[in-house]
A and B are shown apart, each in its own frame.
Chain A
């Protein structure tokens, strides 16, 4: 009989002899062999699958948390909008004549910040959003909004709770009466006298459907009140007004939001009336005149008017009030003064109402820069007072500063030379040159004036016989008594609100007015007039998808757990190879090339990893649910009640699970493939003989190990020390670097210790500890892996705990509260400053309140509407809030800076640095907001913010604040703020600090009373700080849970190693038993081994965490939660010991037979 050669053909003999020839022999292939090994190796593969499952569950869980958070935020943001897709929003009410012309029809509404007061014995007030519209059912909320009965109000549950009212109770609804004239102008109303109305609560909405309406995404449902549109219109005294036009998604097919916005921009063309402008013929001459309800025409209107009205002979003018036209006493002449006169700035003396001429009928020229033309009446009046005004003489023009400061009107004086005296004709008697001002020009007598500026009635001569002013008023009204050039008028009275009060057209243009009105309206850009088209739904979705740093951070930190899980997989794989090292060794000895051997081993382990991954991905959502439920509860308790809606699991998207499966599966496979490659390259003899442990045994430690380890430790400590002196953002990074250095250094020392133990085999046995040491040395690589794994997990626990912030709020000026005790936010911007004793007298405070406010400090801060970018807002801020701080705030300083662009004592001053028109505006933010929430970068970073017209304005970060109560806003100087938002008036935010020793309750009550009309919401600075810190601590607790999971993995690794090690050394234990060791002693031996390995890991990890621990990171004093650390460490140790002990017991029972069998 012959055998076919290796490549030769088959012989008939062989076939004939073929008995028992199954098919399997012919189908032996790599996968087939892998499959056969798989069933032989299944016990170890099961453990591997479990580790892969943990990795996958962690990845899926982490991605799921991010996903659910986004989903929850998205759902809530959409729920708040119902069927609203976009809206035209105006910063003040406009007439809604055109709303119905747009297709699909828009729903006009008034959305206002209001306050409500219960009518109980001890009334409670609460701020709320008022949504006034007809037919709210059209807004498309689910469930649909109920109709509001006449005379009734519907409020939502949070508001009802805040007010303590039930259905049927009466409440007082207060709406701030809007001032037509900007409050920051001397002629603007600053008292904000609210209009109150008693209404009955008709229904209380649940915090669902329209009950959670909000134009901006917010995770907490605020107070909401619904009334019919006409009720709100009556309250704001504008019977055709709305300030919002809603675009609704009721048109089928639903157009894309983007298209809706584009179409709105195109179709919504406000009329002049919508802009608050009037172009009408006025006066006896029927001369057409363009004026604004706001008194001043903005630069935008001016630009359009110059374009449209200029070519038809239109002329601008700026009228302003002179407190006095004064001739000071000189050379025997007494002081003379004409009180409260209108001065008109003109750029042409040939006005549509007539020519400016002198008594001789000669045309007067436009006065020069330092010149003034007074009327004959004024000249005569001055002469009658004994001080004749002659051409060429100098007079003093007293006027108000064009903008009030903190609600206070100040005066200025301008010295001007009399260039001429105008005859009492034409412009000098044309009262229509001056726009109408409610409460002033409409009063019958000057004595009846009720102006918002300081008005010294005694200076007005209104009682006969000395009633010359009243007689003039009755004759000519507010007709100008003096003329200056338009340029001069603008330097005296021009403001950010504008430098023109009227455009005057030739009387001939009257016939053409309809065309001019249309042209003018078309030439004005709505955005510049406070109209904006907002893609509410698209914005909400963007905010939900945005930056919530938590999801990202959670995924990042989950990465550590994944690493621990991968180490575990590696370890288990090594154990697998160790258990079957002979199989691998044989193949290697038979000449399997390393690559093919690695492929085979990977093929064996891959199904286990993949099955584990699948199981883990299925379990991931449970992990997500657990975490979110816990986070939601914590937020509700610590940050803001009602937040948990966001955390409710929206269900993890299938795409996320697929991603998680791919990521986790690939990571596991990669870990296995690398481990398999290492195994396949091992020396076949070593594998066959079983010397050392496959895969895990690093090369024996060289002499360099200890010095290098110590070097790394020192470097780590140095980086940690540096981190304590760096800004927070850098410190966090340095902390982790320091941690890694320390960790690697300490593990190096552990490694050398293990090596020493292995070498110590030569020394004679001393104690049971010694014997345990030898047990560890049996698999030095494995022991090291266990220690490393436990160390990484313990490091994670310590590191994350170290970031927990102290709850104690610092109250000093350089602390996170800046020394302020209270934050006040206003529904309606106000200028009331209760720190001003004179103002306090007018506020109706009780004696106790007045006492508590005496000596208090208040900083009024301008604030734009927008999104809070602090960590308490889970939504990404699409449009961050901008605060404008005044000179007083800047001078006071306060708060602590982590970085400033220049080394100055008070970095706030950097805000007021003079910058060129084109240079970026200086801005200060807190470091966390700059880095995390807005992702702007660090010091010196430049970014764009849209101004009121939506035009991007460049800003530059000149200072970074430590996190504190100003977190979440971009802070600029008041001057920069005016450049960004020129149309706004008043202050939306105030910081107040109680005088030392004041009763806090009385102080708060005083502030509440003082600012009641502004719809104030007060929050103690300490509470705000606690809320911010609570967010951080809640998240950190979530991260700690990850650390605990890491430890769990470490423990599982230890247990696996112990069980495997004991089983492997069954013979040894059998022998020990034969030598007279009793079982308990053997079990103790195994426990001691465990203690050695785990303790090294715990000590290395804990020490690395503590060494790298940054003092002063994130501002608060950092302290280690020792109890938590002790608990986790002990638990790890206990579980590992239990596993070892159980394994040892089993081993001892099996041992004798195994020993006899020669295993």
Chain B
């Protein structure tokens, strides 16, 4: 379970610090799903970065199943991120020189060369996101929606406890967006993982069930 308590974040700026997050508090149970919506610049991406341990909060704390990643060393935090968190970025962020399958296997390679079982799992995930015939395609040979599906498969390959998606469908048409979201919900839920999606699209938010709004760094009830 994810426990977020009084999370605040400010950035230093020449004209004094900018407060981006202000006392964000919420919890998410096992298998829990959450859609975060809010105007541009309200701090959604910042919140996701902190939850994904890419950035440290200025104040407050985050625990995932009781573990506080910010108390660990950078290397331990990286390992934590690798095992427990799956990311789907707004842009797909695939390595252009690597095939779809390779890209899915990248998180596995963070600790060791992928075992045959992991390769099978990656292939299975690619099949599940509808890319049965695209395993050996390079990102340049895929459409936007297909790339984002690869990103979804990559986020799930380590069977993370928490999947974070920052406007994963922002650049996709609504039809494709719905399909990708469904995939996310379905696959993240399978292993009992939690899912948080930041989105502008109501259609996307609806598919997650719970929707919270972030305005001026505060999470509205």
Contact = CB atoms under 8 A, between A and B. Distances in A.
A1159 B124 CA distance: 34
Contacts of B117: 4, 7-10
A683 interface: yes
Contacts of A30: 109, 113
B135 interface: yes
B44 to A, nearest CB: 14
Nearest to B190: A3
A18 B96 CA distance: 23
Given A28-B102, A590-B87, A591-B83, A3 B128 contact: yes
A1130 interface: no
A621 B128 CA distance: 60
Interface stretch (A79-87, A340-348, A380-388, A592-600): A592-600
A582 B121 contact: no
A683 B109 CA distance: 20
A646 B94 CA distance: 60
A685 interface: yes
Given A587-B106, A591-B110, A25 B124 contact: no
A19 B54 contact: no
A29 B136 contact: no
Contacts of B110: 587, 590-593, 596
Interface in B78-115: 78-83, 85, 87, 89, 93-99, 101-102, 105-107, 109-111, 113-114
Contacts of B113: 28-30
B124 A11 contact: yes
B127 interface: yes
B54 to A, nearest CB: 5
A405 interface: no
Nearest to B75: A593
A8 to B, nearest CB: 7
Contacts of B75: 593-595
A20 B87 contact: no
Interface string B48-63: 0100101100000000
Interface stretch (A32-40, A94-102, A252-260, A1048-1056): A32-40
Contacts of A587: 95, 106, 110
A762 interface: yes
B71 interface: no
B124 A24 contact: no
B180 interface: no
Nearest to B93: A586
A25 B99 contact: yes
A589 B52 contact: yes
Interface string B20-31: 000000000000
Contacts of A585: 93
B96 A25 contact: no
Nearest to A8: B117
Contacts of A595: 75
A17 B127 contact: yes
Most chain A C-beta atoms within 10 Å of own C-beta, residue among B54, B85, B94, B133: B54
A6 B159 contact: yes
A40 B136 contact: no
Interface in A663-693: 681, 683-685, 688
B125 A3 contact: yes
Nearest to A38: B97
A1129 interface: no
B157 interface: yes
Interface in A1-53: 1-11, 13-15, 17-22, 24-26, 28-30, 33, 36-37, 39-41
A21 B85 contact: no
Interface in B113-137: 113-114, 116-125, 127-128, 132-136
B66 interface: no
A1074 interface: no
Contacts of A596: 110-111
Contacts of A684: 54
A602 interface: no
A583 interface: yes
Contact of A37 (B55, B80, B97, B154): B97
B187 interface: yes
A591 B107 contact: yes
A759 interface: yes
Nearest to B107: A590
Given A591-B110, A593-B75, A684-B54, A21 B123 contact: yes
Interface in A752-767: 759, 762
B185 interface: no
B14 interface: yes
Interface string A583-625: 1011111111111100000000000000000000000000000
Interface in A270-298: none
A841 to B, nearest CB: 95
A594 B118 CA distance: 22
A20 B136 contact: yes
Which of A589, A595, A683: most chain B Cβ within 10 A?
Answer: A589
Given A5-B121, A8-B121, A592 B55 contact: no
Contacts of B191: 5
Contacts of A2: 190
A20 B78 CA distance: 33
Contacts of B39: none
B41 interface: no
A591 B133 contact: no
B158 interface: yes
A415 B120 CA distance: 120
A593 B79 CA distance: 6
Contacts of B82: 590-593
B119 A5 contact: no
A907 B49 CA distance: 77
Contacts of B52: 589
B74 interface: yes
Nearest to A587: B106
Nearest to B156: A3
B95 A37 contact: yes
A555 B75 CA distance: 41
Nearest to B55: A685
Interface string A563-593: 0000000000000000000110111111111
Given A5-B191, A592-B78, A762 B123 contact: no
B78 A10 contact: no
Given A40-B96, A681-B74, A25 B105 contact: yes
A592 to B, nearest CB: 4
Contact of A22 (B107, B124, B132, B136): B136
Contacts of A591: 78-83, 85, 107, 110
A587 B54 CA distance: 12
From A14, A17, A40, A41, residue with most partner B Cβ within 10 Å = A14
A6 B121 contact: yes
Contacts of A593: 75, 78-79, 82, 110-111
B64 to A, nearest CB: 13
The 9 closest A-B pairs by CB, nearest first: A591-B82, A40-B97, A10-B120, A591-B81, A6-B159, A25-B101, A14-B124, A592-B110, A29-B113
Given A589-B54, A591-B78, 10 more contacts: A4-B120, A6-B158, A28-B105, A28-B109, A591-B79, A591-B82, A591-B83, A591-B107, A593-B111, A759-B14
26 contacts: A3-B190, A4-B120, A4-B124, A5-B159, A6-B158, A11-B120, A14-B124, A17-B124, A18-B123, A20-B136, A21-B123, A25-B101, A25-B122, A28-B102, A28-B114, A29-B109, A37-B95, A40-B97, A586-B106, A587-B106, A591-B83, A591-B85, A592-B82, A593-B75, A593-B82, A685-B55
Interface of A: 1-11, 13-15, 17-22, 24-26, 28-30, 33, 36-37, 39-41, 582-583, 585-596, 681, 683-685, 688, 759, 762
